Chains A and B, each alone.
Chain A
Amino acid sequence: MSAPILRKKFTKYLINCQYSAIKRESLKIIQRPCPLLYSTTATEKPKWQLVSAVCLERLPIVSAKLNEIEAKFANLQETLEYEYSSLSEFEVRHKKEQALAAKKAKEQEHGIETGETVVQTAQDIEDLWERELKEFDPATREDSNDVKSVERDLDKKLLLVVKQKLGNKEHWVLPQIPWTEGETMRQSAERCLGSSCGSEINARFIGNAPSGVYKYNLPKDLNQDHDGVKVFFFKAHHVTGDVKPGKDTISEHMWLSKDELKDYMHPDYHRTISRFIMD
């Protein structure tokens, strides 16, 4: 029992001696500071490269299909509504006309002619409406399963994912661009959308604040000015237009739903991203 506690305290100590000299003195388990950690404090604060990324979402166009319980409940609601309701004006009229027709049929059996006839009954009107509805041909809810098209999976929220060259390799990521001096992070995100997806695309950015951050270290051997990269994600809603990847940094693009992301992305990247994307 005592061993894990000690280890815990030790790690806490290690952390403390890295950052705070005062705290180091207050902890009196081990009097001696660790020489190993002292050497790391000598290194400089890591330099981060700032990058803006666009999390472009296409909101669902078509209502989602009801699952089992939803369909059941919808059905129940409909019957309840029917049961609690009173007859409408149209239904009352229909009922009256039916009664009249029955009466007339009876009278004709006995050979009595009645002059009263209804020109257009409620049933006729209903049939007319039905015919009109049949004539109208709505667009299909089914769609082509083309991952490059914005008009796929109409009942889901889609995200724009691009194959972008980062370092030496190409990765499936949200389109991103390094921040340059003199602009805000959001402005660089907007610039990123323009440069990577073409001018046709029309999107609406949601707020000035980034909705998430992803940090990764750059390999040491590259000898770069930065030690790592901080990617800030800005959310935007797709309004109109298609993606036209023109730049050589981006070779391909896809519109994916949240569930499909993990098949393409780096697991660590995917974990970070899926935290701030809602279904």
Chain B
Amino acid sequence: MALLQKAFQQLSRIPFRGNLSNNRTLFTQTSPTLFKVTDVVSAEPLKKRRRTDPQLVAARDAKRKRRIEKAIKKLMKTGRKLKPVDEIEGDRKLQKEKKERNRELPTLSNEQLDNRAILMKEWNLYKGVQYKKECASINTMLECQAKALSELKLESEELYMAAIQVDYQLLPYEVNGPVRTPPIKGYDPPDGEYTDTTKTYEVEIGDVTTVLKQFIRK
């Protein structure tokens, strides 16, 4: 637009001569015509401000506030609603790479498969026997305790009552282990890598009053 304007202005400076051969001139003036174009304003006129009713605004705010409060209350009551497991898709990237991530394994011979099946059965038997033994020993332990309690009851009702009280000191009971190798005595574990996320605030002591003032103004 600006270019066009300039072109017009330049054009208007050149005196127009007309066709010489006809000896006729359209304009008798020798001075340039100097017609002008107004400046281009690259903006549109301002919109008129609409007047809003303050009561209406307050009502709208109150409504929004109420809606948020309701949502908070609902969240407090039911907790965060979790996505159902069926709808979880899993990692898209891994799904794409599934074939690439397959292992190249040698095919097992029939003998190997048989051996595995036999070992599984042996293991089942072994664990079954172990479980039965464990149950039996637990039963004998319970029997022993019942017998001890009845023997105690024969001697003294008071002691018996003391013995059948619940031991509230016992729970929670925590035992560690067993582990692969025993703990090293006096071992000082080295620090791992960590990132310090503690926020630090740098305020000069002389500035405290101004900082506080700023804080209050906020």
Contact = CB atoms under 8 A, between A and B. Distances in A.
A60 B159 CA distance: 33
A276 interface: yes
B184 A76 contact: no
A202 interface: no
A189 B59 CA distance: 75
B144 A276 contact: yes
A276 B202 CA distance: 66
A255 interface: no
Given A209-B164, A211-B145, A185 B152 contact: yes
Given A92-B100, A185-B152, A207-B167, 20 more contacts: A59-B178, A60-B177, A61-B178, A61-B182, A62-B179, A76-B119, A85-B103, A86-B101, A87-B101, A139-B185, A154-B182, A204-B173, A205-B170, A209-B149, A210-B152, A232-B152, A233-B148, A275-B144, A276-B145, A278-B137
Interface in A115-155: 138-141, 143, 151, 154-155
B55 to A, nearest CB: 61
B73 to A, nearest CB: 43
Nearest to B105: A83
A216 interface: no
A207 B169 CA distance: 9
Interface of A: 48, 50, 59-64, 69, 72-73, 76, 82-83, 85-87, 92, 138-141, 143, 151, 154-155, 179, 184-186, 204-213, 215, 230, 232-233, 237, 275-276, 278-279
Contact of A210 (B122, B138, B163, B165): B163
Q: Which 5 A-B pairs have the closest CB atoms?
A: A213-B148, A184-B162, A86-B101, A276-B144, A138-B181
B145 A208 contact: no
Nearest to A91: B101
Contact of A275 (B141, B163, B165, B180): B141
Given A69-B122, A87-B103, A210 B149 contact: yes
Interface residues of B, number: 46
- Helix, strand, loop or mixed for chain A's interface? loop
A51 to B, nearest CB: 11
Contact of B152 (A59, A138, A213): A213
A261 to B, nearest CB: 15
A127 B120 CA distance: 36
B145 A138 contact: no
A233 B147 CA distance: 12
A92 B96 CA distance: 14
Nearest to A188: B159
B178 A276 contact: no
B177 A209 contact: no
B180 A63 contact: yes
Contacts of A276: 140-141, 144-145
Contact of B148 (A60, A186, A212): A212
Contact of B155 (A48, A140, A186, A211): A48
A69 B97 CA distance: 38
B144 A212 contact: yes
B152 to A, nearest CB: 6
A86 B144 contact: no
A204 B182 CA distance: 21
A104 to B, nearest CB: 21
Interface centre among A48, A63, A212 (most CB of B within 10 A): A212
A1 B185 CA distance: 70
Given A69-B126, A186-B163, A206-B170, A139 B181 contact: yes
Contacts of A62: 177-182
A36 B149 CA distance: 33
B175 interface: yes
A179 B156 CA distance: 12
A79 B113 CA distance: 13
B183 A139 contact: yes
Nearest to B116: A76
A204 B175 CA distance: 11
A83 B122 contact: no
Given A72-B119, A185-B159, A141 B181 contact: yes
Contact of A208 (B126, B140, B167, B178): B167
Interface centre among A64, A87, A209, A278 (most CB of B within 10 A): A209
A103 to B, nearest CB: 17
B209 interface: no
B144 A61 contact: no
B131 interface: no
Given A61-B179, A208-B165, A275-B144, A184 B159 contact: yes
